[in-house]
Every structure is written in C-alpha cells, then in structure tokens.
Amino acid sequence: MDKKELKEKFSVKEMDEIKVFTENEEFTGVLLPSSNENSLALKMKSGYNIGIKTENVRKIEKTGEQKKETEEAETKEEKKEVRKIEGLPLILILSTGGTIASRVDYRTGAVKPAIEQEKLITNIPELMETANIESKSVYEMLSENMRFEDYKKIAGEIEKAVKEKKELKGIIVGHGTDTMHYTSAALSFMLENLNVPVILVGSQRSSDRGSSDAAMNLICATEFIAKTDFVGIAICMHENPADDNCVILSGTKSRKMHSSRRDSFKPVNDIAIARINFESRKITYLKEDYPRKKEQGKELVLRNEIEEKTALIKIYPNFTAKQLEFYEKENFKGIVLEGTGLGHAPIGNETEENKKIFEAIRKLSEKSVVVMASQAFFGRIDMNVYSTGKDLLNAGVISAEDMTPETAFIKLAWLLGNFSQEETRKLIGKNLRGEITARSDIRGFEIE
C-alpha cells in the first residue's frame, strides 16, 4: 500500500496529527507533505522528522485536526519570569538566530529562525541553576546570510556588555552553525584583551539523532563559563554524536566538518581547550596553555573595521587566469588562495594558461596582499619544499602557516581594515589570537 492508499484507508490528511503503528512501534506526529509515495514523513514533537516506510505501516489513527495555528499558540504562551539568585555568576546570552533559536515551519517542514531567545532560556531550567541569565536578541538570522557588518554588530554588543556590566562572568552567543567558525574568528580579532569567556553555541537539530542538541550545548557552555578561568572567543558543541560530552574549541582553529552531525565542529591543527561531561558537569582541561583571566587585565580594545574587498578563492585543476584577473580589475585589497597540498597553484609545467595564472598572481601580489592557505585544511603551508611553492613565494604570496583558509580570510580582511598594507603583510603570518601554531626551528621535514 502506498501513501495515497494509506491516507484514504485511514482517512487522514497532510498536516493532521496522527499516530502510526508499525509491527513493534508507534509514532505520534504531524503528517508532512512529501513527494515520496513509499514513505510517511512525520514531524514529531521533538522537532525531528522521521520517515516510515509505508510497507511497515499496520495502522494509522488520527489524533488531532490539521495543525495551523502553531504560531499563534506559541506566541500566546506565557513568558516565564527569569529570577535572579544572589551568589550566582551573571551570564549574558546574545542571540543571533540560527537553528539554536529556530522553530519548524509546519507547512513545509523547513526550519526558520523564529523562537524568542527568552523562551529558549526559560525552557532550559538547568541554566538558571548555574547562573543568573540575561538575554538579548541581536538579530534573528541564519548564519549563512551573515555579512561583515553583522560581525561589527555582535562585537559591539560584546564590548558594550563587558564595559557596562562589571560583574559579568561571560557571554554566550547563540549562532547558526553554517558560518559559526568565520564569526568566531572575526570576533577573536575584533576584540583585543578580552578578559571574559565568550562562547559561541550552535545547534545541529537537523541531525542524525532524535533530540535537539541545543539544550545540552547551552548547558555545557553555561557550566563552563560559570567555572572557568579561560578568556577569549571559543565554540561549544558536542564532542561526538552521543550526548555525553561537549567540547570548548578555539575560535580561530576550528571548522564545521560535517553538514548535519551534532559533533560537526572539529579543531584543525589544534586540540580542544576543554571537555564538559554533561551528566557530571565535570570540566576537563585538555590544553595547558589556554588564555587565562587576568586580575588586572588591560582595557578591552574594539577594532571592528574589516575590509570588504577581501576574497577567498579555491584553486583547482583547470583554473584559469581570468578568474584571478577579475579580482585585480575589481581592486580587491586582499586575496586568500585556497591552494592544494603544501600551498600550490597551477603555475608550472610551461603551459600557456599556467603561465598566465602565475602572472595574474604576481600582479595581484603587487597591488594587494595575497595569502596562501590549503584546501587540505590539516597540516601546514610550506612553500619551500616544491618548485611551485618557491615560485609563488617569489611572486609575493605569503604563507597562511597552519591557519584554516576561513580564519586566514577573516584575519586578512580584519588586518586590511585596521592596519596598513605593509603592516598587514607582517602581521598575517604572526600569531595574534592563537590562530597560528608555533612551528619548529627549521622549515622543511623533520625526523621523529
């Protein structure tokens, strides 16, 4: 029996609340529209979709009418009062949107940024046991839509909170996961002498498991901020697909490595700063040399200029010179090339197009700052090993060392926004916010 036949037999329509019985299980949820005739798409209360093969369906019961007034019902719900308890640390949650603050659109099954931040917090009573929580919605957007101006706004909110609230223990930034590592890098550079922990927290609700990871990630981040002496920008997400631990990852040395898993954020050329066990709330520090709170910290400096004319360009076989010449014509000030291997681009072997690419890179390097990162992500750029790398160095290309291409891109844009071109060339390869790991004394290969 296919979906159409099942719907007729049990008199249910799309958007009805139904209970589906298979041989061994039953599932309750809203029947979603879907194009697959051999499967029922059910939106469950947890917010997750489940697919049930029609061949496994034994019975369907209608439990409620078509779900239409979801939005209305939600907004009518009373706001719970947020109480403050003396002795608990003060944590500010800045919400920017993303899945962590999302609600499912019942008509389409798609996720939209819409939940009010206050509601999210009052729905997680554990937060209030650990800290006095204040919250503020900066905006509501999916992180894939963010632009440089949005980084300025978040950095400004952080600066304001740190300067105004002397008792502030730390800040959580609720954020979409798509570009969270770009934002964490931008905030790392924009805020100098940050003397509180600022933890970006996302959620991969669209995940491979049955419940949302938003609550656990928020609880772990709160727990960490309340107890830690770490200061600076970091990310708090699941350590693995299970719900046992969260990890605190560097804001400049992490990236999203999986499109849907809750443990999608991984350290790159780095290890996690700390692990928080969800059940015991125990914090284990994995890194010895993380930045620590200073009793007499220097004053927070906000440098939030960022050069719009900065590009991140992935290099690949059959790349053409014209693609680079475009950036010269458009007067870009900074270019990060995401090259291959140790930091290469197709400039050799005497072919006409490769010669033109070399010439285009050389010209770009004259006018603007050209930086080389690797699409391999792990490992370090070393342009001293192969002839291709040496030629690129001679053309003026600067190594991103072991920065991710994303961090190199944000750093370059930030440097160009706040410093001269000459200073930018000097600072790009220098470690400013933990983004570059110290390399051993000599360039080249080491023996173990």
Residues 238-267 that bind a copy of itself (CB under 8 A): 256-261, 264
Q: Are 304 and 155 in contact (CB under 8 A)?
A: yes
Nearer to a copy of itself, 168 or 180 (CB): 180
Binds a copy of itself (CB under 8 A): choice among 68, 74, 379, 421: 379
Least distance CB 373 / a copy of itself (angstroms) = 10
Least distance CB 396 / a copy of itself (angstroms) = 17
Binding to a copy of itself (CB under 8 A): which residues in 409-428?
A: 409, 413
The answer for residues whose C-beta is within 8 angstroms of residue 230's C-beta and 6 or more apart is 197, 224, 248, 273, 274, 290, 291, 292, 293
What are the residues facing 40 on neighbouring strands? 52
Say whether residue 210 binds a copy of itself (CB under 8 A).
yes
Pair of tokens at residue 5: 């036949």
Is residue 252 flagged as an active site residue? no
Q: Which of 13, 109, 5 is nearest to 57 (CA)?
A: 5
Segment lying near a copy of itself (by CB under 8 A), choices 154-162, 220-228, 339-347, 361-369:
339-347
Pair of tokens at residue 253: 């040395």
Say whether residue 353 binds a copy of itself (CB under 8 A).
yes
Nearer to a copy of itself, 168 or 357 (CB): 357
How would DSSP label each residue in 37-61?
TTEEEEEETTS-EEEEEGGG--EEE
Is residue 178 flagged as an active site residue? yes
Q: Are 167 and 86 in contact (CB under 8 A)?
A: no
Binds a copy of itself (CB under 8 A): choice among 335, 345, 360, 371: 345
Q: Which amino acid is at 316?
A: Y
In the chain, the largest separation of any two C-alpha atoms, in whole Å, equals 75
What are the residues facing 21 on neighbouring strands? 26, 59
Say whether residue 437 binds a copy of itself (CB under 8 A).
no
State which H helix or E strand residue 72 sits in.
Answer: helix 70-76
- Of the listed 54, 99, 130, 388, which one is catalytic? 99
Say whether residue 280 binds a copy of itself (CB under 8 A).
no
CA–CA separation, 198 and 251 (whole Å): 10
What are the residues facing 435 on neighbouring strands? none
Q: x/- site string to a copy of itself, residues 110 to 129, per CB under 8 A?
A: xxx-----------------
Segment lying near a copy of itself (by CB under 8 A), choices 68-76, 227-235, 277-285, 323-331:
323-331
Decide: helix, strand or coil at residue 311: strand
Least distance CB 117 / a copy of itself (angstroms) = 17
Is residue 340 flagged as an active site residue? no
Q: x/- site string to a copy of itself, residues 151 to 190, per CB under 8 A?
A: x-------------------------xxx--xx-------
Segment lying near a copy of itself (by CB under 8 A), choices 130-138, 223-231, 274-282, 306-314:
306-314
Is residue 99 flagged as an active site residue? yes
Binding to a copy of itself (CB under 8 A): which residues in 39-78?
A: 39, 41, 48-51, 53
The answer for residues whose C-beta is within 8 angstroms of residue 12's C-beta and 6 or more apart is 6, 18, 31, 60, 62
- Of the listed 54, 130, 177, 424, which one is catalytic? 177
Distances (CA, A) of 112 to 100, 108, 205, 360: 10, 10, 12, 42
Residues labelled as active-site residues: 99, 177-178, 256
